[in-house]
A and B are shown apart, each in its own frame.
Chain A
Amino acid sequence: MLTLYGQELRSRLLLGTARYPSPAVLEDAVQSSGTEIVTVSLRRETAGGRQGGAFFELVRALGVHVLPNTAGCHSVSEAVLTAKMAREVFGTNWLKLEVIGHHDTLQPDVFGLVEAARILSAEGFEVFPYTTDDLVVAERLLEAGCKVLMPWCAPIGSAMGPQNIPALRAIRANFPDVPLIVDAGIGRPSHATTVMELGFDAVLLNTAVAGAARPALMASAFAQAIDAGRQAFEAGMLEPRDFAVPSTPVIGKAVFA
């Protein structure tokens, strides 16, 4: 069982709600994924500052926990303001905190991220920070009050999968008791399995499902891949060897025949 800010969850898949062909397809994907948490962007869906539109009603009607995010915020003040709007709209202290440092690659501004995390944690938010795989930043985020970390495994939307396995191993090893969710960069189910085998607690996805030809089917594929990776981690895997080891006894057989 996964516990995030006191909330127990069976599913280890968090699903984004952006860029599906239609809300009906989104709903199908959420259902077939078995996810219990969806993220939703406040900023992009509230042009002109109007809130509580039909799309938010649809998201609420999915019947799962909503993790509002600050996607598209490029400064601390923007992120803090958006976070407060999110709390009002969705009535939750949960917040996926994004402070974007680069317009094109959407790489996190880790300095602004730590600052915003400190401000929001002090105001009672339960912050899920979208960060890089940098260990020192991770430490600063924990000091700022975060109790969950969401490192990327590759740039957002890139679908490249884990680019720096040693860094992911290091962050896992350094924070054994902190729930770690890989957020961004996952392109296919095998990527999700890989990071789950490393001992990460959950995976957050959006484009890999929303951009698939059949999003609901892909959501189900990811759910199974994540379960497989988790079970493998819990079961304990063999370490690779440099040479073959026969699984049956060789004594009494003509080995060199």
Chain B
Amino acid sequence: MRVLVKGAGVAGLCLAHELSARGAAVTLVEREPGFAGAVSWFAGGMLAPWCERESAEEAVLTKGVSAIDWWDDALPGEVSRNGTLVVAPPRDAGELKRFASRTSGYEWLDAAAIARLEPALAGRFREALFFPGEAHLDPRRALSQLRQKLVERGVVFLSLADSAGEHDLVVDCTGAARIGATPGLRGVRGEMLYLRTDEVELSRPVRLIHPRIPLYIVPRGDGLFMCGATMIETDDGGPITARSLMELLNAAYALHPAFGEARLVETGAGVRPAFANNLPRVTRAGQSIAINGLYRHGFLLSPALAAEAAELAVTQDLKGDAA
């Protein structure tokens, strides 16, 4: 079976991985080389289904839990399984209780336990939530390595200008590019930045709860920290706004004042594709399938959606043979 996958972001790569594992001959079309067009390049890379449940539907937890093993199997050594720490400034301690009431899979930590887990945060927070089952990865390394693995498996990568040739099935994984064409699909803008400092060391993602400006910081190693992310209802993918930059930096500074002396090495913005319930969908029409609406859960939900779409593709192929 020959499948053409359009879009080589996290959804397209996961799908190609699932399809090739099922014996399909996969061709992937990239909009731009080097993931320049992929919103997953700006992702946090948190595999945090329990934390996400705070505002997401139950399906994000049930479908997201298996993503940690999926990434660990697909790219051994790339996944850090050391949980997520959730903290709040003292005056917003009530928000931490609210977060706890919406989630599961956590333990309450006191100041001493926080200091043991993340010495850099010692003395800064009186209590925290720790989600030990969660994990994280570096999305840029993961995308590059998954692409390399697929090349080694014989998956063909084409640019938009190349002729795709004959195929039995097309799967669209072009995400936000479908806004306007796919009914009900909208864009939710996300802005992020990278800070570099040797003065703070963190070993796991830390979420700072704030009623207006929630922030997460994911350590990438070597003094590099990814800070994100805004959620703005627009499909404008332009550069980060001054207000968002200010708010993200303020929140980072609130987490640890040493971030005030960090170097701001990169800012970025992307448009996440989302449906009205903020849950992704696999849809099928004739000889084509689409995965879309991954919202802020690209790395968390692509594995489950890719498996679903790959099963659908294989089934569709069998039906085609029988006809």
Contact = CB atoms under 8 A, between A and B. Distances in A.
Contact of A55 (B56, B98, B234): B234
Interface string B244-285: 100000000000000000000000000000101111000000
Given A55-B186, A213-B102, A47 B276 contact: no
Nearest to A17: B233
A55 B278 CA distance: 13
B211 A213 contact: no
B306 to A, nearest CB: 22
Contact of A47 (B179, B211, B212, B234): B234
A243 B32 CA distance: 80
B163 interface: no
A157 interface: yes
B234 A24 contact: no
Contacts of B212: 157
Contacts of B244: 47
A47 B236 contact: yes
Given A47-B244, A53-B186, A213-B102, A21 B55 contact: yes
B55 A45 contact: no
A50 B234 contact: yes
A21 B278 contact: yes
A25 B241 CA distance: 28
Interface string A35-65: 0000000001111101001110010000000
Interface of A: 21-25, 27, 44-48, 50, 53-55, 58, 157, 207, 211, 213
Contacts, number: 63
Contacts of B232: 44-45, 47
B238 interface: yes
A215 B56 CA distance: 13
A44 B244 CA distance: 10
A64 B208 CA distance: 36
Contacts of B211: 157, 207
Contacts of A58: 186, 276
Given A22-B279, A53-B235, A58-B186, 11 more contacts: A22-B274, A25-B277, A27-B276, A44-B232, A45-B233, A48-B236, A48-B241, A50-B234, A53-B233, A53-B234, A53-B236
B278 A22 contact: yes
